[in-house]
Amino acid sequence: MSATIIRNGRVIDPANKRDEITDLLLVDGKITDQSAIRSPPSEIEQIDASNLIVCPGLIDMHVHLREPGFSHKETIESGARAAAAGGFTTIVCMPNTSPVPDNPSTIAWIKDRASAIACVKVLPTGAISKNLAGEELAPIGSLAQAGVVAITDDGHCIQNHEVMRRAVEYARMVNLPVLDHCQDYNLVGNGVVHEGYWSTLLGLPGWPAAGEEAIVMRNILLAELCDHPIHCQHLTTAGSVRLVREARARGIKISGEVCPHHIALTDEAIQNFDTNYKVNPPLRSQTDIDALVEGIADGTLSILCSDHAPHADFEKEVEFDAAPFGIIGLETELGLFLDLLVHKLRKIDLARLIEMYTVEPARLLKIDAGTLSIGARADVTLIDSELEWKVRVDQFESASRNSPFSGWTLKGRAVRTIAGGKTVWKL
């Protein structure tokens, strides 16, 4: 019998509406009721969590692990280590790999690889369309049987509304949520940055807000038509927030998520042509950021995540137009959200932030995670919400270094990550 007791921590467990100073017992990889242990184990690990938050292991439902096919950017092993260093015990990997996980055999490979080498739980998504081409549906029923937790073409967006409708209908049959990267290719064209003052000044092709909002509107209509959840990934515009808010008020099964870089940075950051600020969708205006923050505060946007998108240095060290979109985020996202939303803007409290990283994604994906209930898997994150620390990208666990936050000082971070009862990372 292996046992760990976490003493004197502030246990915040939104799933059970707990917020109290207490101890937490972990036995053989499970959350255990202390009163039910008649004979305590002879050897028990003691963790002093005084002045720390003890919460369910955090979930990031939007991560690119790049494997199979692009292991020079990231691997399942290195991405899992980065997740652990960020406080995450469950991550959901996106399907833009090579080969594309549009078939059960690739899903089986990812699951087998993750179970063999990942220090945290890695859950695969399946592609909506074959080869992410947006033309022919992948075998959604077979993907569900293979164990995907959702379907998405993230990194791409299905432009044919009829194809998307059928995908949602099939997903409803097998009870899978649909995740969508909202980008109308006709409106966006070759845009690489937010269409506005800075794109005009710098002479860079603009990516208009309407290019996102048109697909958000499409997804709302399809979620209503098919009566099935559609989740809009990495929302960035004030218009998207307004559309989702109005739809949710009418009871439509639509939801949205926010990434930290989209509230920490405006499009002004691109003025030096640093490709570490090039993301898709792009950094937006302060007006958009204000709307995103209000959407988080009022519950319109219910999930926080990273869109962790690693790239090798040589890929980013090119002209801005030619560089790939994306930044890494697993090791900075919790600190950024704590620093901005809880400490500086004071828009949400700690309990709500933890809820957006546990209960909300677990509910959408219908996974057994995000809770400290008795008998649950012992996935636990210890957080020092007052700790000030400097971001040192050169010390990251991720295989890539494409972060714009190097040198930033943040307040709050995970200090220990426990997965299945075992400490997989500690500060």
Domains of the chain: 3-53+377-426 (2.30.40.10), 58-365 (3.20.20.140)
Question: Which residues contact residue 190 at a Cβ distance below 8 angstroms, ignoring those fewer than 6 apart?
Answer: 205
pLDDT class for 38, splitting at 50, 70, 90? low
Averaged pLDDT for residues 244-268: 98
What's the mean pLDDT in 361-366?
98
pLDDT mean over 307-329 = 97
Maximum distance among all alpha carbons in the chain? Answer: 71
**pLDDT at residue 36 greater than cutoff 80:** no
Q: Which helix (H) or strand (E) holds 63?
A: strand 58-63
Summarize pLDDT for 39-50 with one digit per residue, the tens. 666 688 999 999
CB 343 within 8 Å of CB 354: no
Q: Give the pLDDT confidence of 46-68 residue by residue, as tens digits.
A: 999 999 999 999 999 999 999 99
pLDDT, one tens digit per residue, over 275-293 is 999 999 999 999 999 999 9
**Which stretch of 43-47, 305-309, 388-392 has the lowest confidence by average pLDDT?**
43-47
What does the pLDDT read at residue 40? 61
307 is catalytic: yes
Q: Can you tell me the mean pLDDT for 361-381?
A: 97
Gyration radius of the chain over CA positions: 21
Q: How far apart are CA 318 and CA 417, in angstroms?
A: 36
Q: Which residues contact 173 (CB under 8 A, 6 or more apart)?
A: 141
Collect all residues with Cβ–Cβ distance below 8 Å to 371 and sequence separation of at least 6: 13, 15, 16, 56, 358, 359, 362
Which pair of tokens denotes residue 234? 């990495």
- pLDDT at position 2 is 86
Q: Are 393 and 403 in contact (CB under 8 A)?
A: yes
List 153, 307, 339, 384, catalytic entry? 307
For the entire predicted model, the pTM comes to: 0.97
| pLDDT tens figures, 121-157 | 999 999 999 999 999 999 999 999 999 999 999 999 9
Cα dihedral 227, 293, 278, 82 sign: negative
pLDDT confidence of residue 382: 98
Question: What whole-number distance in Å separates Cα of residue 82 and Cα of residue 373?
Answer: 26
Q: Which pLDDT belongs to residue 138?
A: 98
pLDDT at 34 over 80: no
CA distances from 350 to 226, 227, 338, 353, 399 (A): 35, 33, 8, 5, 30
